[in-house]
Each structure stands twice: as C-alpha cells, then as structure tokens.
A = this chain, B = another copy of it.
Amino acid sequence: MSITSDILRGHTETIILAHLLEQDSYGYQINKDIMQKTDNLYELKESTLYTAFRRLEQNGYIRTYWGDETVGARRRYYAITEEGKAAYKKYKNEWEEAKNIIDHLIK
C-alpha cells in the first residue's frame, strides 16, 4: 500500500457514502470498487469497512437489507438515507476546506 492509514483516517465514511450515492451496494463489492478505482493503491481493510458500516448505520446515514441471492454467499446491501446524503455533503465540504488548509500549511 502506498498511502498511510493516518492520512486516510476519517475519510472512510465519506468514501462509503460516496459509493452508495451512485447505487446500493454490499461490503465485498464496495471494497473491490475502491481497490479498482485506485489501481490497488488503497485498500480499505475489511475490519475498517465493517466497523464503519456499523457507525454509519447507528448514525442513521445508511440502512441495510439482505439480498435475495439464491446461489452463492448471502449479501448484506447498504443504502444511503437522506441524512446520509446530508452528511456526505457536509463531509465533502469539510474535505475541501481541510485540503486548502493542509496545502497551505505544508507549503
């Protein structure tokens, strides 16, 4: 992996919400999407992912339902809520602001 956890820390929820904004998805798929999108530079670890799902659900930002797969392993799908959409916008704005601040501070 090429970028450290500490830099990514705090973005996990935003990343997940951004994905769910496009379409409902499930853990395994979200993880693969992220790896693919970043050319394997960044991998969201499973334990990180699932603890983030729990937080997001507790905060009402996502809701979950089981897929109706008849073959293969079951899938737990996640969908973003209205609160989640609002949170996403807030997180995204914070990121834009933080980006400027950090850029400025590290020259």
Contact = CB atoms under 8 A, between A and B. Distances in A.
Interface string A20-44: 0100000000000010011001100
Contacts of A98: 3-4, 7-8
A106 B4 contact: no
A68 interface: no
A105 B107 CA distance: 24
Interface residues of A, number: 32
Interface of A: 2-11, 14-15, 18, 21, 34, 37-38, 41-42, 91-92, 94-95, 97-99, 101-102, 104-107
Contact of A37 (B8, B94, B95, B104): B104
